[in-house]
Amino acid sequence: MKLNEVIAAPGYEDLLVFEDINEEDRHNAAMIMFKFLSGIEDVTKDKLSRKKLAELIGTSPSYITQLFRGDKLINLLTIAKLERVLNIEFDITPRFISDKKTSFRFDSDGFKKEEKKEKRK
């Protein structure tokens, strides 16, 4: 079963189908960014305007708006500035995704691609 078959309502199945790997990577980058921005909204909600946030990190309010709209991707320098001015730290923990058919493992010889075997019933 594909991801879009699991969570997509009828008529919206194609929203999670990508033309190529680059499009999927751009989508995933946007989803990662939105996780960061969601955390920013949680700590600034009703306390700090986006205009003031832009001023604190030395950028324009329009750039902050573009980030929150998803028009631009956030960069690591901006994340570092946000951590500094908000006195926060993002906790980034890598984890393996169990539903992928292909995975990579690292050993002394480097990365090795592994195909997951389907469980038989």
> Which of helix, strand or coil describes residue 21?
helix
Quick check: 1 pLDDT over 50?
no
Domain 3-93 in CATH 1.10.260.40: yes
Check: pTM over 0.85? Answer yes or no: no
Q: Would you place residue 101 in the very low, low, confident or very high pLDDT band (cuts 50, 70, 90)?
A: low
Quick check: 13 pLDDT over 70?
no
Mean pLDDT in residue range 36-42: 94
Please give the pLDDT value at position 53: 96
Q: Would you place residue 17 in the very low, low, confident or very high pLDDT band (cuts 50, 70, 90)?
A: confident
- Give the chain's end-to-end CA distance (angstroms, integer): 16
Q: Would you place residue 99 in the very low, low, confident or very high pLDDT band (cuts 50, 70, 90)?
A: low
Mean pLDDT in residue range 35-61: 94
| Ramachandran quadrant class, 70 (left: phi over 0; alpha: psi -120 to 50; beta: rest) | left
Please give the pLDDT value at position 32: 94
* Spans of all domains in the chain: 3-93
The 10s digit of each residue's pLDDT in 61-95 is 999 999 999 999 999 999 999 999 999 999 988 88
Any idea what DSSP says for residue 117? P
Mean pLDDT in residue range 106-112: 65
Quick check: 28 pLDDT over 60?
yes
Residue 104: strand pairing partners:
113
